[in-house]
Every structure is written in structure tokens, then in C-alpha cells.
Structure 1
Amino acid sequence: MDVQTFCSFIVLFMSIIWPAVSGFNILVSSVYGEGSHFLAGAAVGQGLADKGHNVTVLISRAYEHRAKDPKYSNLSFLIFNHRNRSLQDVRDMFFHANTMAFDSAESQMLELFSLFSESMADDCVGVLHDVDIMKQLKGMDAIIMDPVWLCGIVMGAVIERDLNHSKQIKMISMTPNIPDGAMLQSIGSYFNSAFQPEISTGYTNRMTFLQRVTNIFFTSLTIILSQYIFIPPYQKVARNMGFDQQDLDLNLWTWHKLFDLHLINIHMSSDFPFPLSPNVILIGGGLTVRPPAKLDQELEEFVNSSGDEGVIVFTLGTYFASVTKFQPKFVDMFAEAFRRLPQKVIWQLKELPKKELPPNVKALPWVPQNDLLGHPKLRVIITHGGNNGFQEACSYGVPMVIIHFLGDQYDVAARVEARGMGRSIDKFALSADVIYETLYDVINNPRYAKVAKEVSSIIKNDPMSGKERAAFWVDHVIKYGGDYLRSPATELSFIQFYMLDVLAFLLTVLCIVLLIAFACLRFVISLCYRVVFGSTKSKTD
């Protein structure tokens, strides 16, 4: 073998095995880098990195501290700048969106929804015009994007166009919470309002007549908001980037063409069962869970000092940890309820209240939730019903008390109560007595802990974790594509999908048959009448 042949063989060999050795290049775009959306997206990215893929996470300059977190050392980060807003404006927008439920009515949510769409679409323009970022994205094989920020769709189309369509970017959506009906229908997965509760309704899968009526209304509202408020700003971005509708049809009813795979962070052990299209993969049941680490000495001593009574963890997430500032009465109610309980309480509070907290309460600006959930002395966790925390508690088998404020938190509360893993408290019914009675019941009634442990056992019996399942399917669609997984329901019109044309045809046939039968019967009756009465008349004559 001469040198040239040998070199050619090496090049061919490396071109075959290199993807297997170095993995695919995958971008994760999960809403700026803050909150539950980022945590779920980053967890999927970590699962892919553990399998040898090269994962890059796109985050905002406002949250660039994520890139320095040693927990994400196996991920690379791309940081984009904001065009028309300061970093504090961005942080304030997210803070306001997550805390407005205390003082605001649902009527203000529409205004906020529109503001978010316009602002995030504007940031998308900034990313698309960032030469350095777009240059680095040309090497991507797949984009995993959160549906809350549709910029990933336009990014993928721009990359393919810049490469003269010599490469197809695989598009994967990653929904970090309970899916809405509009999304499920748009990807060809069956959605029936009779037993599938719409997001934000707080209904179970066994609804009354009026609840089913409301459920259909909420689904219709979700479709309208998505199609006419949420999506149009990105349609404008696509047009400004030179795409017409034929090149990039960014539309709710064409989503099935835009994506190869859909990941959803739920698990059927704790959710209401419903049918799914093959290209929808459930990755819940502890997506963000990691093996519990040992608590620091001070916190460990506090936990152990609880004795047989155990501890309660109270955390309402990143934003509600500042509740002392904007709802001091809220803090006072819980402090009074905790004072009556024998358990020790670990409470996430960024600022201490003016009144002294009870001696059995330890306030911390940040709580190692994962590590505490895995601690044997934990009796119950009080949370706002964020999906990540809910899934983590399910994975560890910890009973819950949910205080829901907005969005899918109502739905998490409904699932906790329907499954029997705990109880919920309406934010408008909060009082020290209600909080105390609810906690006392969940801690001392063994049925809650029994159900929570059962759910945990089901999750742990899975052959793959959520991260592993996500990594497997993302790798699969990069290699083989997702066309064969798409439901044929996406090719049907509304009339065809619900068989209205067939029903109309069968109804028409039935009407014709009945008309013929009626005509025949009328003819027979008329004939008999003539025979009987005709013969009688002739005898009379």
C-alpha cells in the first residue's frame, strides 16, 4: 500500500468513526439561563454531554454566572447581549413575571405575555446578527429549544441557508412543564378536552360538565394566544431575515414539519395518562435530580437536632425567596404556623423579616433542595408547584404541600392531590390555621408518604433515567431523522381528523335508506288500504 492510498484510507476511516468518538455538536437554547426552564434544558444538555456529545448552551448576558458554575463544567456556553435593554431590566422582567401573582389579576397576564413575546423576539434579532455567535453555530448538528423562545427555529433555518442547505439541522423541542393542548395538537398528538385538562386550569382528568366546557374554552384561548400574539413577533423576525412563508412557515399548524422530536418533562407515575405520538418522548421523573450530597456541618447539625420529628423544607423557588420584601404578611402567617409545629423548618428567604422567626426555623438565602429531598429526616416539602421541584420530590418519594400562584402550578397542585401525594392550599385561603392544619395532616397521615414512596418506586424502576432517555432519542434523530416518527394526523384537516366527512356521508346514507324504507312502507300501507277497502267497497256495491 503506497502512502497516498494509506492516507486516503485513514481519512475515510476517521470520517466514519469521528462522529462516534467526538459526538455530535448540539445547541441547547432554554430561555436566557434562569429559572426552571434553564435548569431542565441544562439537565438534558448534561445527559448528552455524559454520552460524549459536544453541548453548547446559549444564555443571556444577564445570567452569565451560569457559565462559571462548576456544576456545568461539562457544558460550553455562548453568551448573547441584549439590544435595547439593560441587564437589570431583563432580570426585573423575569422577577415581575414570577411574582405578579401576589398582587395582580389574571387580566394583566395577557399584557405581560405580549411584552415577553416582543422582548424575546427582539433579543432573537440580536443573536441572529451576532457574527461570532452565528459562526460558531454553523457546526451544530441539532438545536434543542424551549418553545417559550422560538428563536431556535429561525437560527436553524439561517444556518442551513448559510450552508446552502448542504446540512440539515435537527430540531428538538424541550417542554420543561406540563404541555398545553395547542402544542400537542400542533405536533399531531391526540388531545381530548373530555379527559385531558388544559394547562393552568388546575383540573384533574375527571371533570364535571362545566369544567369540560371551561376546559375547551381554555384550549381555544391557548390556541389564539399562541397563534396571534406569541408567534407573530418571530414571523416578523423571519421575514426580516429574508424568509418568506414558503421558506419558513412559522405557524402553529406547521410545527409538525419544523421539529424532528419533542421532549416533555413529565412522568406518567404522577401525571394523568393520555395518548402520545411516537415523536413525543417523556423525560420526567427526576430529570434535574442528582445523587444527594452531604449537607454542610451547620445545616446537618440543625437537621439532626430535629430528632424523630424530622424537618420541613419550605421553598417557593428563586423569585419567591424575596417574598419578605413585597409580602411581609405572607411571611408572618407561615412563621406563626411553624411556631406550633414540633418539626424543624428550613425556609428559603433572601431577606429576614423584621419580626424574629420561631426558634425551630432556619432561614437561608439558598436551599440545597436536592440534597435535602434525599435526607432521611425530611417529612414534607412546601413548594409553589414548579414542575422541576415536583418531579424531584416524586423521584425521592417526599410528600408535598403546594401553594400555587400562577400558570402550571395549578396543574401540579391538581396532580399532587389526585395522586394522593399531598395537599394544596389556595393562595386566597392562606392563614396560619390553614397552613398548620394542612402540614399536620400531611406529616401525620401515613397515606401521603405511602403514595409518594410508591411513585418514587415506579420512577426508579425505569430502565433509563430522564437524562438517558433524552440523550438516546436526540442521538437517534440526529442519526436517523424524525420523519418516520411523525403522526399522520398532522396531514389531516380538521374535518378529516374528526371524521366529519365520513359521519356526514354515513348520515346521508342512513337518511336515504330511511327515506326509501319510509317510501316502501307507505307504498305497502297504501296498497293494503286499496286492497282491503277496495274489496269492501265492491261487495257493498
Structure 2
Amino acid sequence: MMIDFRFFLVMIFSQIVASSKILFYVGCLPMGSHVRVANFWANSLSTCGHDVYSLIPDVYYERRVQTDKNKAFSYLTIPVNYTAEEVNEVINSFLEKSANGETSSFFATVNTILSTFAQNNESNKFTNALQVSTITCDIVLKDAELLKRIQKENFDLLVGDSMLPCHHVLAERLHLPYVTMDTPPILPSLVSKLHVPSNPAYVPEGYSHLTDKMSFFERVKNSFLIQFVPFIFDIIVHQPIQNIAEKYSLNNNKKNLFSNVGIWFGVNCHPALEFPRPITNNIVCTRGMLSTPANPILDNELLSFIESAERGVILISMGSTINISSNVLLESFASAFARLPYKVIWRYTSNVSPPSLGNNTKLMSWIPQNDLLGHPNVKAMMYHGGINGVYQAVYHGTPVIGIPMYQDQHDNIARLVAHGMAEVIDINTLTSESLYQTIMKVVSNKRYGDIASLRSKIMRDTVHIPQVETAKWMEHMIKFGSDHLQSGAKSLTFIEYYLIDSIAILMLLCLVILMCLYRGVKLLVRKIYT
């Protein structure tokens, strides 16, 4: 008999968690991996007795309601002065650049983002998503009626997103304790703000495409990036929010926006995938939030397609990015899939099918990805590398053919490759033949499946379900605060933290000792020879 997973969670939560009132704020994002994680988390907390609200721009309300028909939480809306179409325009522009290889490295990504600031878009209020985040933050902090409405709800806690730093100042404006949800793997550039040490000899910086096993030149590269990436983040992400904070007399005399974070929740940093690294008590790592047991596939036509595949099914899930890329690339995909001796399920949202589409390929505008990965007849997944899908692949033990395009996708796929359950293809050099050969290599070589199965067992052998663990820590913080979780490094100055004063004293002491030895030897030599 199958037990409803949600009922199982309710039973667990009811034993350990008292009811609290919690506000989620993931900024200006219309949808995507960050919103899916936040909504799943909010829904889990609501289902188990908490009173949860999500603060969103009003232009997304209709879409969210349609998407989250089974939600158990409520929405508060922000009256904004832009449209959803304007936001989609800048996001699609960035995705198109990504599909063309313009964000294949950290420096290329920075160059692409900086170039948008110089653009003059007369038809739009902004030229990139970072500007949307900044504008939304300004609107929220300026809207006295909205802030009064939020304060009347008497929230116990605010939950924000690591990549959208407005929640740091919003929490101060609302006088609320808050936690940060970190959807990507833990980035040294961000947790350094919490004084979490990251040794560049074995802790790869985000966007580096490196693993914890580095050559000499890779360590040099990583040492540079671990200093340079936080500098860039400060300029293009954090400083605009800091300017808004100063505008409303918030975060006074503080250069570090992160100074009041209670707990940093790494919702995708399980050792089954993540490289070992030191963390402090206020960093809570959990298994992938969206990595859950598979539900039965309810679409009978889809189920029949899967179960009729004698040699198995390859799942193709490349997000929305690939559907706005060149016809040449889509043709390369379609022709490679047509040659495979497997059936193919391709998440494909374009209105026009590629001419080379084979009879073995089924196009679907939406797929139940987690449920498909849990089906035993799905042999591998071709994936762009978004963190949620990567964790779902590990959870279900599915080998991966990775084609990363931007941001953390390269790092996520690099982790899979390092562990031996994936191969990566550079989208800039991809051909139909190279794609076909790589898929055949991953599916036909038993080693990839065996390693994926081992990683799955490691991930599943977890003491706490992510929703239970995060709820427990949130309730703990509401009860006791977070001062006892904070590192002593928080109160240290730059000179104290890096022991510059201690090193200077030790060097001076060594110099004095050497001078004394020199004088002593000199006197001794003089006595001997006189």
C-alpha cells in the first residue's frame, strides 16, 4: 500500500514543530529553480501547520496561482511599475546569449552582464534581471502601505534568497529575524561574507568549473577567483542594494549586507554531490529540496511510451534556454536522437518541430521530471545542469549527459563528472555525431550507472528529510535566536581576521631574536680572535 508522501511529512512535522508565521521573499523572479524551491519549501511548511506567505510582484500573481494550484500558502503582492513581459524580455535575452556561448565562463558572464548596463532600451525600464531586482527592492522599501500591511501580519521570520540580497535590508526595515535560502552549491564568494573559511587549495570557487582536485595552475586560477568573484558580486549585485539601504537609512555604517543573517540554508549541498569543505554552525546543508520519491506517472500515454521501450528511455530536459537557440543546434539534437536505439522524451516548448525528428522521439511541453527519473526504464538524462535537476538525477541514480550553458550549471555538471556519473559536452563545439557518441557511451557503459546508483544510496541514507531539518532549525531560531550559532569571526576586523597584527608581532619578535643572535655571535667571534 502506498503512503502519501505529504501525509508522511505532516505526521513528522506535527511531532517536532510548533506553528509560526513565516514570510518568503524571493524578489523579482517570475519562475525558475529558485522560485520552485521556495514554493516547495513554503508549501511543505504550510501543509504542516505553519502560516506561510510569499511576497511577490503583483504582475506574477495570476501565473503563480495557475502554476501552484495545490499550494497551501498565501500570497502578498507588491504593486510594481513594470510588466511581466518586460521582465521576460530581459531574461530571454540573457538566455539567448547563453545558448550562443556568451556565458560559458565567469568572465564571459560578467562581460555579458556589464554590456547590458551600457545598452539603451527605450522600450523597457531595464536591460538585465539585476536591475529588476534593484527596482523591486526600491519599490518595496518605499511603499509605506505595503510595509504597514506586512507588519500587521506579525511575522516571526523572513526567508530570502542568496542571489537576491534585498531581503537583508527588508528584514531590518520590518525588524524581523531572517534566514537565507541558498539554492546553488555553496559559493565561497557569498559565504565569505559570513566569515566561513574557504581554502582555495581544495574548495573551488563558483563559476570556476573546477573540482576539489586541482593542478598547480588550477589552484592559481582558483586563488585568483576566490578573491575576484566576491569583488564582482559586490559591484554588480550587492552595492545597488546597499545604495538603496542607505537611501532609506538602513544598514547604517555596515559594509556587509550579510551581517545579520541568522541561518544560511544550503538546500542543495549534500556530500553525495558536494565536495567536502569546512562550514560554521550557522550554515545548514541539506539534501536537494526537490529530490523526493517518485510518484506514479498518471499520464497513461506517457507511461505506455516508457514501458514499451525495450532498450529504455533517454530523458532530454534542457530548460527553456535551448528552445530559443539556433535551428542548427536543434537539428543537431534531433538527428542525434533519431539514431539512438532508445526511445527519447524531449521537453520541447517551441511550436515548430525539428525536420530531422525521429519516430523514437516524443516531444512534450512539460514533463514530470522527478517522477520520470524515478522510473526504472529511464536510462539517462541529457541536461543543462540546473541544480535541482542535478540533485534529482543523483537521488534517483540516473547517469547524465551534461550540456551546461551559464552560471552554476558548469560547476554542477563538473561535480557529476568528477564523481564519475556524467559526461560533459561543450555547446560551442557540439555536433550531431559528438552528441550521439556521448549518449551511447554513458548509456552503454555500466560504470556510469553503477556510480550513479552508489551516489543515490549515499544521498538516500540521510538521517533527516530536508523539509523536516530546515523546519527544525527555523523553529529553533524563532525560539532562541541565532547568536549562539554565529562565528566569533563576525566581530573581527580585517586585520584581526587575517592575523595581520599577530603576524607582524611574530615577525618583529623573530627579527629581534635574529638581531640578538647576530650581536651575540659577533661579540663571541670578537672575543675569540682578540
8 Å Cα contact 2:101/2:428 also seen in 1: no
CA distance in 2, matches of 1:117, 1:320: 19
Q: Which amino acid aligns with 1:145?
A: G
Q: How far does residue 354 in structure 1 lie from its aligned partner after superposition? A: 4.4
CA distance in 2, matches of 1:485, 1:422: 37
CA distance in 2, matches of 1:77, 1:144: 14
Q: Does 1:190 align with 2:186?
A: no
Q: Does 1:59 align with 2:56?
A: yes
SS at match of 1:287: coil
CA distance in 1, matches of 2:180, 2:329: 37
Alignment equivalent of 2:302, drawn from 250, 275, 299: 299
Alpha carbons of structure 1 residues 509 and 243: separation in structure 2 relative to 1, 3 Å: closer
Alignment equivalent of 2:178, drawn from 171, 174, 182: 171
CA distance in 1, matches of 2:494, 2:248: 32
Q: Does 1:228 align with 2:239?
A: no
Q: Does 1:277 align with 2:296?
A: no
CA distance in 1, matches of 2:191, 2:451: 29
Q: How far does residue 320 in structure 1 lie from its aligned partner after superposition? A: 2.0
Q: Which amino acid aligns with 1:74?
A: A
Alpha carbons of structure 1 residues 468 and 33: separation in structure 2 relative to 1, 3 Å: farther
**Consecutive unaligned residues in structure 2, runs of 5 or more:** 1-15, 103-107, 118-126
CA distance in 1, matches of 2:128, 2:338: 42
Measured against aligned partners, the alpha-carbon deviations of 1:372-412 in whole angstroms (never above 9, x if no partner) come to 01111010011100001101111111111110111111101
Q: Which amino acid aligns with 1:34?
A: M
TM-score (norm: length of structure 2): 0.88
CA distance in 1, matches of 2:76, 2:201: 44
CA distance in 2, matches of 1:291, 1:26: 28
Q: Which amino acid aligns with 1:110?
A: L
2:155 equivalent in structure 1: 140
SS at match of 1:521: helix
RMSD across aligned positions (CA): 2.2
Say how many residue pairs are matched: 493
2:405 equivalent in structure 1: 405
Alpha carbons of structure 1 residues 212 and 454: separation in structure 2 relative to 1, 3 Å: same
**Consecutive unaligned residues in structure 1, runs of 5 or more:** 1-19, 161-168, 531-541
Alpha carbons of structure 1 residues 503 and 418: separation in structure 2 relative to 1, 3 Å: same
CA distance in 2, matches of 1:354, 1:276: 47
Q: Does 1:94 align with 2:91?
A: yes
8 Å Cα contact 1:51/1:471 also seen in 2: no
Alpha carbons of structure 1 residues 373 and 489: separation in structure 2 relative to 1, 3 Å: same
Q: Does 1:216 align with 2:223?
A: yes
1:227-376 matched pairs, under 5 angstroms: 227-243=234-250, 245-246=252-253, 249=254, 251=255, 253-255=256-258, 257-264=259-266, 265-289=268-292, 291-307=294-310, 309-317=311-319, 319-320=320-321, 322-323=323-324, 326-351=325-350, 352-376=352-376
8 Å Cα contact 1:43/1:467 also seen in 2: no
SS at match of 2:196: coil
Runs of 4+ in structure 1 over 6 Å off: none
TM-score (norm: length of structure 1): 0.86
Q: How far does residue 459 in structure 1 lie from its aligned partner after superposition? A: 1.5
1:110 equivalent in structure 2: 114
Measured against aligned partners, the alpha-carbon deviations of 1:153-203 in whole angstroms (never above 9, x if no partner) come to 33222223xxxxxxxx11111111023222111112111222111111101
Q: Which amino acid aligns with 1:500?
A: I
2:124 equivalent in structure 1: none
CA distance in 2, matches of 1:502, 1:155: 38
Q: How far does residue 284 in structure 1 lie from its aligned partner after superposition? A: 2.8
Q: Which amino acid aligns with 2:317?
A: T
1:154 equivalent in structure 2: 169
SS at match of 1:177: coil
Q: Which amino acid aligns with 2:99?
A: F
1:430-469 matched pairs, under 5 angstroms: 430-469=430-469
8 Å Cα contact 2:189/2:226 also seen in 1: yes
Q: Which amino acid aligns with 2:230?
A: I
Q: Which amino acid aligns with 1:58?
A: L
8 Å Cα contact 2:54/2:74 also seen in 1: yes
Q: Does 1:127 align with 2:130?
A: no
**Which shows bigger deviation, 328-337 or 352-361?**
352-361
Q: How far does residue 22 in structure 1 lie from its aligned partner after superposition? A: 7.2
8 Å Cα contact 1:306/1:344 also seen in 2: yes
Which one has a bigger Cα radius of gyration?
Answer: 1
Measured against aligned partners, the alpha-carbon deviations of 1:131-173 in whole angstroms (never above 9, x if no partner) come to 554234212111100122222233222223xxxxxxxx11111
Alpha carbons of structure 1 residues 498 and 365: separation in structure 2 relative to 1, 3 Å: same
8 Å Cα contact 1:314/1:381 also seen in 2: yes
- The structure with more helix, counted as a fraction of residues: 1
8 Å Cα contact 2:297/2:372 also seen in 1: no
